[in-house]
Chain A
Amino acid sequence: MTQPKSFGDALIEAIPNLRAFAHSLSGDGQLSNDLVQETLLKAWTHKESFVPDSNLKAWLFTILRNTYFTYYRKSQREELDEDTAAMNASVPPAQLTHLEFEDMQRALMRLSADHREALLLITAEGFSYEDAARVCGCAVGTMKSRVNRARSKLLEEMTGQPVDDGHREPEEAPKSSSGP
């Protein structure tokens, strides 16, 4: 007899992607496990507020990114910077050479946090623009423009060449993400 999948089973199924998202968003393998742990606890505690048959993964990602940005804002005073990524650089990569893998992580960490999460949700995780916008609490159009900008920036970071996309970035005031 097959048991219907429990909420716990669904959580466990989501863990690998939650960890990948947490790690690439925070650039820190240690921190990412803490973030996932906290996400699981919060999801469990608030499971009544999850609408059955809606997108559990999107819900969990929302909790995770909100948890991260709460933490991020706190730790900004303590200068959490891209070096954290390098110090906690992770895992021997499967398809990328180690250097390519580290380059990618480093380049990602040099993006603003909202550009980084946009790219991760859309390009890496494969969320629809609608789901990604819901996760980040922004408009769909904002999500689309973030992804495009993030791609250009990332390419610049990786090649060291300015990307001529016909768009000049205005002097950007250091602005924290659009967190909750």
Chain B
Amino acid sequence: MQHRLDTSEDCKRADGELPERQPEPEAIKAPVPQLPGFAAQLIGQRMRAMYETLAQEPVPDDLLELVRKLEAKERPE
């Protein structure tokens, strides 16, 4: 993927107010289903286990270097 820095769009909206939006159709079309507690728990456990496994992978050096380089560029000599 190319690095594009022109997409300030993607950085918008963070920490702003919630966008004023029409409620989306899915929010109003039906009652929200509720799973029995144990099923929701099971899903939660599995999800977190998967997610933690991914988060524990070692961070590739090039990502760390990228941040360090960006910092170094700004540091006044």
Residues of A whose CB lies within 8 Å of any CB of B are 6, 8, 11-12, 15-17, 19-20, 23-24, 31, 33-38, 40-46, 49-51, 54-55, 58-59, 62-63, 66-67, 70-71, 90-91, 93-96, 100-101, 104-105, 119-120, 123-125, 133-135, 137-142, 144-146, 148-149, 151-152, 154-155, 158, 163, 165-168, 170, 178, 180
**Residue B31 at the A interface, CB < 8 A?**
yes
B residues within 8 A CB of A125? 51
Residues of B whose CB lies within 8 Å of any CB of A are 1, 3-5, 7-16, 18-19, 21, 23-24, 26-27, 29-35, 39-40, 42-44, 46-57, 59-60, 62-64, 66-68, 70-71
On whether the beta carbons of B26 and A142 are closer than 8 Å, the reply is yes
On whether the beta carbons of B54 and A63 are closer than 8 Å, the reply is no
CB<8 Å pairs between A and B, sample of 30: A8-B68, A12-B64, A16-B59, A17-B55, A20-B51, A20-B55, A38-B3, A40-B70, A42-B11, A49-B12, A50-B14, A51-B15, A54-B15, A66-B9, A93-B49, A94-B49, A123-B48, A134-B16, A137-B19, A137-B21, A139-B18, A142-B24, A142-B27, A149-B32, A151-B39, A163-B35, A165-B33, A167-B31, A168-B30, A180-B12
| Alpha-carbon separation in the docked complex, A62 to B9 (Å) | 11
Closest 9 CB pairs of A and B: A165-B33, A124-B51, A66-B10, A20-B54, A20-B55, A59-B14, A167-B33, A8-B71, A46-B11
On whether the beta carbons of A36 and B13 are closer than 8 Å, the reply is no
| Alpha-carbon separation in the docked complex, A46 to B4 (Å) | 13
On whether the beta carbons of A144 and B1 are closer than 8 Å, the reply is no
The distance from the CB of A109 to the nearest CB of chain B, in whole angstroms, is 12
On whether the beta carbons of A94 and B53 are closer than 8 Å, the reply is yes
On whether the beta carbons of B29 and A170 are closer than 8 Å, the reply is yes
On whether the beta carbons of A120 and B8 are closer than 8 Å, the reply is no
A residues within 8 A CB of B48? 123-124
